[in-house]
Amino acid sequence: MAPSSRSSTDRIHLSAPDVGAEERTLLLLDAFESGWIAPLGPHVDAFEHEMAQRVGVAHAAALSSGTAALHLALRILGVGPGDEVLTSTLTFAATANAITYCGATPVFVDVDRATWQLDPALVADELHRRADRGRLPAALVTVDLYGQCADYDRILVAAAAFDVPVIEDAAEALGATYRGRAAGSFGAMAVLSFNGNKMITTSGGGMLLTDRADWADQARFLATQARDPAPHYQHSTIGYNYRLSNLLAAVGRAQLRSLDTKVGARRRIFERYRAGLGDLDGITFMPEAA
């Protein structure tokens, strides 16, 4: 069948956006009527505060994408040309792309077949080998894949032994927990994505999370073209156009209110697939870590 003649029911979407009346009629309309159409505004401030509270961190910076958040996190840590950064073999390209934006080289560490998450033993082995060679990585970017967290008890201990900072790529895991702590609360900094296929969506968007106020302030500064606090346009360093708009932040606030409902819906969909396909040879399902 030609693509142009396919009906919408022929395609099974990976994760279709789930947007309801509150996003359309309440917060988005409020954002329009407030006059805050361009980036920044009261909904951006509120979205940052509400997300930080939900995840359990002190500060959040709302950005244009999860990729932008990764890029800024790496830059804030001082990652640059000639550096190497460890990350997972099983992830979306953006995780590695952000490392290359800084001029650094991604070094891939494999996942554990039993969990699909970054293998803590392999991380520790790689750090030991690099310490012996005097070539430690500038950072480690973990990945919380498909709604589950990496094994942070073991990974953070291994990284701390060599003073290697950890950035948590929690783009796919908002709403998940690890030993009672929310995804997005681990490492020096963490990032979320609000792309159309994520747990909540702002159409496009992301967020950097951290307990350090200076890092959150630096992220906001770099994300607004690094404009100096002067009465004229003055820029002492390279910045980026990475801030989230007030309109999209309004959508994100409404989406966040229904996060638990969205997590429950995804669990039901998963069980439906497992019930319908679980007995077929050659098909296995992602395990859920205890």
List residues with catalytic annotation.
Answer: 198
Q: Are strands 189-193 and 166-169 parallel, antiparallel or unpaired?
A: parallel
Whether 70 and 169 have beta carbons less than 8 Å apart is answered as: yes
Q: Pseudo-torsion of CA 254, 256, 259, 261, nearest 10°?
A: -20
Which of these, 201, 168, 181, 176, lies nearest to 74 by C-alpha position? 168
Whether 267 and 67 have beta carbons less than 8 Å apart is answered as: no
| 78 secondary structure, DSSP code | T
* Residue count of the chain: 290
Whether 81 and 224 have beta carbons less than 8 Å apart is answered as: no
Cβ neighbors of 174 (< 8 A, separation 6 or more) are 55, 183, 184, 192, 198, 199, 200, 259
Cα–Cα distances (Å) from 185 to 58, 138, 174, 196, 241, in that order, read 10, 20, 10, 22, 25
**How far apart (Å, rounded) are the C-alpha atoms in residues 77 and 80?**
9
